[in-house]
Amino acid sequence: MRSAGQVTQAFAEEKDNILSWYILHHAVDDNELQELSTRLTKAVEVANRLHAGSLRKTGEPYIYHPLRTAMEVSRFGRIVDWPSIEAAILHDTIEDTDYSLEELRRDFPDSAELVEALTKIKDDKELSYRRLFEYALKDIRVLLIKIADRVDNLGTLHIFSPEKRLRIARESATMYANTCERLCMLDLASRLREQVGEYLTPEKYAEFQEAQKKAKKELERPLVHLRSRLAEVFPGDLTVRIDIHWNRFDHTLPVINENLFTVRIIAESREAAYQALGRVHISFPAIPGTFKDNISNPRENGFRALETSISNRGMIVRFYIASREDDRYNRLGLLSMDVESAHFNTRYLKDLREFLEAEDFANIQDYLRFNLPDGIQVTTPKGETVNLEVGATALDFAFALHKGLGLRATGAIINDIPTSIATKLKMNDRVIIKTADHPVCNEKFQQWATTRRAMSAIKRYLRQEELRKASEEGKKLLLGVGTAAGMDSWEVDNRVKALAAQSGEKTDKIYEEVFFGKMPLEKVLGPLARPGWNPVSALLQKVMPPKPVAARTVRRYDFSSNLRFCTKCVPVLGDEIEGVAGERVLTVHRKGCFSDDSVPRVTVEWDRQKKIELRDPGPVKLEIVTTPTPGLLYRTMAPFRNLEIEINSISLPGEDNILHLEFRPGTSRALDRLLRELRKLEFVREIELGHSEAPH
């Protein structure tokens, strides 16, 4: 532990470092510098007083953690301002001391809101993340300070238990490193991945360290030769900076020689970068399939560079070539921007805003998983490059080119081999899409698509088709009822057109509302014939003979888009059931649950195919609406324990009193038994069941 004198000296050193880094990125005159120094001293003294006597598990005074966090923030450039520095120093005061928010607002009015946003919500991790990202939409400084906080905390990860180390390491990789990569802060992302590597994959981490140590020794002479060859290739007529960069460990990459180091060539312009690439490919044998052009086809996060691999004396060497301006953005990403810049509001933040506003938010990691930078590049027959996520299918490729192409896709030819549109694509595949002359999109397309663009287009088309068919059926119904009542077809058409003109709706909308029962027939056709006469019954008797109504067969765990199961009575196989038709959806109830006799019932019955109870419904998620009750979680977990069902993730009830769980029951029978037990609990008000995207 450091002495008081050492603490005082360290404060002086770290305050100097914070100021030095800050003024490196900001224009500060002498008067402003004096003011900032005074404000810095005040923030450090308040934080030191509040954290006095508090030690980290390393034995170090706690104050050093917020000071190092502030130093990290000060390096972030013009995107952060002085209140960001103060907030970094004070970020744990509300959470860990008796310092009140009112006192903070009084003492540090410029940074109080930032500190409040950074205060964790201890009882609910997911809610904490949602709050963090919602604040980031309003103020990106919140996210940047949180990342700096995590960078410093990872330096003491070794002191925790193995279980806690692993949990924090995973969270840092999936949440923080991926967020940095999505913002193109690749230097920061690589630092985070290296810090957590020895805890996530210790054997692989040790293998990498040993391989890199060995390579630095064994490749010393080959690399001297490579430098000599590059000096010949670039004699000075093309201004470039060349260096051999030893890479940081990344647990997502295999430990192979070409991942140990990279030759970086930084040119003055993008045109010069292409010229440099040409010289490399002329001078060294290129490895087929390794070239990526992210200058003309930048990644979603804005990354622009040329990447290729060559062979030199039996050694595979990876090259990174970029302009000086692009390289700065590739390394720093969002940190290279000025917070006042017109370009500051990046596409990422727009996407995040749309996601938080439109989605039923459960886990921010769902968003990050969908929004990692593009992982593969595939080409069209004309040689055009398309960026797609890892795991994307030929159908995703079709929608990436054009929505109409995706809707008409019937098959694919990948590298001259005919295949299905559900086929997953690999880096540098050449893809041709086979099409019909009309849209053939159906429900199965939703199973084959993985990208948000494709899934959104498919859902929109299926919804439009459903409405189109409803309009057609509504028109048939009106014409049939009208003619059964003695009207001519032209008279029915005129009545529909008149009503459409009066209401400002299109005629298709009128037909659609008639079909869904939203608009009474009499509103369109006027009073219909004699009292007690049912026009629909008369029509049916006229056009078709009576026949028994066939029951619709339903399965509990098909997760159909137009089939729902009541969340209050929670019917399962074996219960007596009935259906209630709504707008574009059929809801299945246990008999006696739905009490509105004015709504017609639909005859439904369980699918009792052989072995259906033994089928695996796959990963599922439950949302249980509860009434606050002591011991709620323990009692809810009892059925899971009794049935030996392992829960993959759980999110505790917040203000909405909803418990979120994800698990894999194994069989439909086990899931039936679980639902029966859960619906018996008196504090359970509703149970919503859905399909989870969790990996199998």
pLDDT-derived band at 540, boundaries 50, 70, 90: very low
In a domain, 64, yes or no: yes
For residue 43, the model assigns a pLDDT of 93
Last residue within a domain, chosen from 159, 175, 194: 159
What CATH number does the domain containing 684 carry?
3.30.70.260
Which residue in 294, 314, 310, 312 sits closest to 302, CA to CA? 294
The average pLDDT across 109-122 equals 79
Find the DSSP H helices in 26-177.
30-50, 64-74, 82-90, 93-96, 101-107, 112-118, 125-138, 140-153, 162-171
The average pLDDT across 395-417 equals 92
User: d(Cα 696, Cα 693) in Å, to the nearest integer?
Assistant: 9
Task: Look over the chain and give the mean of its residue pLDDT values, rounded to a whole number.
Answer: 82
Which residue in 453, 352, 327 sits closest to 399, CA to CA? 453
Report residue 482 CA to chain centroid gap: 51
For residue 130, the model assigns a pLDDT of 63
For residue 435, the model assigns a pLDDT of 92
Report residue 202 CA to chain centroid gap: 27
Top pLDDT among 398 and 129 is at: 398
Say whether both 505 and 651 belong to one domain. no
In a domain, 363, yes or no: no
Say whether both 506 and 594 belong to one domain. no
Q: Which residues pair with 589 in a beta bridge?
A: 578
Say whether both 523 and 563 belong to one domain. no
Q: How is 166-211 classified by DSSP, letter by letter?
A: HHHHHHIIIIIIHHHHHTT-HHHHHHHHHHHHHHHSHHHHHHHHHH
Last residue within a domain, chosen from 159, 178, 204: 159
Give the pair of three-digit tokens for residue 685. Answer: 């008000």
For residue 690, the model assigns a pLDDT of 76
| 265 phi and psi angles, rounded to 5 deg | -120, 115
pLDDT surpasses 80 at 240: yes
Question: What single letter denotes the amino acid at residue 661?
Answer: L
Question: What single letter denotes the amino acid at residue 35?
Answer: E
**Per the residue annotation, which of 35, 45, 60, 96 is the catalytic one?**
96
Question: What single letter denotes the amino acid at residue 421?
Answer: I
The predicted-structure confidence for 653-687, as pLDDT tens digits, reads as follows: 667 778 888 888 877 888 888 888 998 888 888 88
The predicted-structure confidence for 133-168, as pLDDT tens digits, reads as follows: 676 777 788 889 999 999 999 998 988 888 888 989
Top pLDDT among 615 and 435 is at: 435
DSSP state of 576: -
The average pLDDT across 15-37 equals 86
The average pLDDT across 572-597 equals 80
For residue 549, the model assigns a pLDDT of 46
| 39 phi and psi angles, rounded to 5 deg | -65, -40
Say whether both 530 and 561 belong to one domain. no
User: d(Cα 350, Cα 375) in Å, to the nearest integer?
Assistant: 21
Last residue within a domain, chosen from 543, 577, 599: 543
Give the pair of three-digit tokens for residue 686. Answer: 């509703």
Say whether both 536 and 586 belong to one domain. no
In a domain, 634, yes or no: yes
Say whether both 491 and 561 belong to one domain. no
- Of how many residues is the chain composed? 696
The range of the structural domain enclosing residue 656 comes to 552-691
Say whether both 532 and 612 belong to one domain. no
Q: What sign has the CA pseudo-torsion 525, 526, 530, 536?
A: positive
Top pLDDT among 314 and 65 is at: 65
Is 81 annotated in the active site?
Answer: no
- Residues in contact with 431: Cβ distance below 8 Å, sequence separation at least 6, in sequence order: 378, 379, 380, 394, 397, 412, 413, 414, 425
- The pairing of strands 658-663 and 647-651 is antiparallel
- Residues in contact with 175: Cβ distance below 8 Å, sequence separation at least 6, in sequence order: 129, 364, 365, 368
Is 203 annotated in the active site?
Answer: no
Q: What is the 3-state secondary structure of 638-671?
A: HHHHHCCCCEEEEECCCCCCEEEEEECCCCHHHH
What CATH number does the domain containing 112 carry?
1.10.3210.10
For residue 143, the model assigns a pLDDT of 86
Q: Are 426 and 397 in contact (CB under 8 A)?
A: no
- Residues in contact with 132: Cβ distance below 8 Å, sequence separation at least 6, in sequence order: 117, 118, 142, 143, 146
In a domain, 500, yes or no: yes
| 385 phi and psi angles, rounded to 5 deg | -95, 135
In a domain, 565, yes or no: yes
pLDDT-derived band at 362, boundaries 50, 70, 90: very low
Say whether both 512 and 586 belong to one domain. no
| 627 phi and psi angles, rounded to 5 deg | -100, 125
In a domain, 74, yes or no: yes
Q: Are 194 and 248 in contact (CB under 8 A)?
A: yes
Q: Structurally, how many domains does the chain consist of?
A: 3
In a domain, 347, yes or no: no
The average pLDDT across 300-305 equals 87
Say whether both 586 and 490 belong to one domain. no
For residue 124, the model assigns a pLDDT of 44
Report residue 7 CA to chain centroid gap: 43
Question: What single letter denotes the amino acid at residue 419?
Answer: T
For residue 532, the model assigns a pLDDT of 47
pLDDT surpasses 70 at 132: no
Q: Are 446 and 460 in contact (CB under 8 A)?
A: no
Which residue in 544, 547, 592, 541 sits closest to 568, CA to CA? 592
Give the pair of three-digit tokens for residue 573. Answer: 């196989």
pLDDT-derived band at 318, boundaries 50, 70, 90: very high
Say whether both 579 and 643 belong to one domain. yes
pLDDT-derived band at 128, boundaries 50, 70, 90: low
State the CB neighbour count (10 A cutoff) for residue 260.
Answer: 19
For residue 571, the model assigns a pLDDT of 87
Helix or strand holding residue 446 (H, E): helix 445-448
In a domain, 183, yes or no: no
For residue 476, the model assigns a pLDDT of 80
| 269 phi and psi angles, rounded to 5 deg | -150, 170
The average pLDDT across 92-99 equals 89
User: d(Cα 437, Cα 259) in Å, to the nearest integer?
Assistant: 46
Helix or strand holding residue 680 (H, E): helix 668-680
pLDDT-derived band at 642, boundaries 50, 70, 90: confident
**Per the residue annotation, which of 16, 35, 45, 95 is the catalytic one?**
95
pTM of the model: 0.57
pLDDT surpasses 80 at 545: no
Say whether both 567 and 687 belong to one domain. yes
For residue 572, the model assigns a pLDDT of 85
User: d(Cα 684, Cα 635) in Å, to the nearest integer?
Assistant: 11
For residue 340, the model assigns a pLDDT of 60
Say whether both 507 and 597 belong to one domain. no
For residue 316, the model assigns a pLDDT of 92
Top pLDDT among 117 and 214 is at: 214
Top pLDDT among 451 and 316 is at: 316
Compute the radius of gyration of the chain from its Cα atoms: 32
